[in-house]
Amino acid sequence: MEAGKKRLATLVGCNYFDTRNELRGCINDVDSMRGLLVGRFGFRPEDVAVITDEPGSEVLPTGKNIRAALRSMADRAEPGDVLFFHFSGHGTLVPAVEPHHHGRSRRDEAIVPVDFNLITDVDFRQLVDRLPPGVSFTIISDSCHSGGLIDQEKEQIGPNSAASARAAAPPPDDRRRSRGASRTLPCEDILQHVSSLSAVESEHVGDHLLDIFGGDASAKYFSRSTSTPEPPADAVGADDGILLSGCQTNETSADTGPGEEEGEDGKAYGAFSNSVRLVLGEQEEGEGGMSNRELVLRARKLLRERGFEQHPCLYCSDENADAPFLWQQQGEQL
């Protein structure tokens, strides 16, 4: 990377302590990722923001605080910079703003902060669109239903790609089994919670989030309140948004308990976050950077070998699919 170019990261882990939605591995995920970023990928410790709901945390991973951290990274970004966001926690599917968008009913992807102020696929699309040219923004979302979390980003590995089908094919004697707790929080549960706090009468979760959080709610729901149509699917060209999702849109991601991973350190982790860490850890120091495509395919393979049924996906431009993860050597080409 060229001298003076920045590497900025925001890492968010939500364990949802003392709730019926509690998870165990999310804070461990981001702690482990922080060590990897600083020790292997050249991030300065002061440029890595960690936001968790660990007891005693001064800044909690609410929707407002996560958005503020992401905006702060975007505001600091200059051409050639590398931005990274890792979310470990619950994901959900929410009703689309336009119920008959593209002629059918659909649900869209969102991550779930601790206050349920959802951050949606539209929010991530807007964040990518505001970045200066030549700034990469990589997301790892270890959450349920995370495929497609950057709205309209091109699928490289996923349910509709040939590479996905080959990578997902089990061996002849496949003994896969469901493992770990699900990192999903059904939208119906979220709607029940936020509607109890809201003064409006509506069956759409977005109306309640707007009423409760106002200007801090997802941009997706402002378009609903003003009847502004979503942009057409071909409105977005190639950009440097890169999403590595823990699973496909219709799947769940696993939160594993201590001892559920063979040969591990006894801590709980997210199955996808842990697989990424292990795959990257196989690289020798000084070895050429692993591409985003290779990282996702190898994480898929490792998950399958360990008995998990989720299928990580990759969404980005054709160029970034084969670019090194976190642009380890990309500075030479800028």
pLDDT in tens, 2-58: 545 899 999 999 999 999 999 999 999 999 999 999 999 999 999 999 999 999 999
pLDDT surpasses 80 at 259? no
Catalytic residue (choose from 144, 187, 313, 316): 144
Reduce the DSSP state of residue 43 to 3 states and report it.
coil
Show the tokens assigned to 128.
């990518």
**Mean pLDDT of the 150-168 span:** 78
Those residues whose C-beta lies under 8 Å from the C-beta of residue 284, and which sit 6 or more positions away, are none
pLDDT exceeds cutoff 60 at 169: no
pLDDT of 5 reads 87
- The yes-or-no answer on residue 144 being catalytic is yes
Report the alpha-carbon angle 210-59-74, nearest 5: 70
List phi, psi (to 5°) of 141: -115, 105
Look up tokens 């590497």; give the residue. Answer: 7
Q: What is the pLDDT of residues 271-325, one digit of tens each?
A: 999 999 999 988 765 556 899 999 999 999 999 999 999 999 999 999 999 999 9
Domains of the chain: 7-333 (3.40.50.1460)
> pTM value?
0.89
How far apart are the C-alpha atoms of 325 and 291, rounded to whole Å? 5
Residue with tokens 């594993």: 256
Whether residue 42 contacts residue 4, with contact meaning beta carbons closer than 8 Å, is answered with: no
Angle at 280 between CA 285 and CA 45, to 5 degrees: 75
The token duo for 236 is 């977005």
Only one residue has tokens 């605080």, namely: 65
List pLDDT tens digits, range 176-203.
345 789 999 999 999 999 999 999 999 9
Q: Tell me: the pLDDT tens digits for 204-232?
A: 999 999 999 999 999 999 865 554 444 44
The DSSP code for 232 is P
Query: Which two structure tokens, joined as six digits, stand for 149?
Result: 């979390």
Token pair belonging to 48: 């890595």
SS3 111: strand
Strands 82-88, 269-270: pairing kind: unpaired
Q: How confident is the prediction for the chain on average, in pLDDT? A: 86
- Give the pLDDT of residue 173: 37
Q: Locate 22 and state its tokens.
A: 């509690």
Whether 90 is catalytic: yes
For the cut 60, the answer to whether the pLDDT of residue 132 exceeds it is yes
Catalytic residue among 14, 26, 86, 90: 90
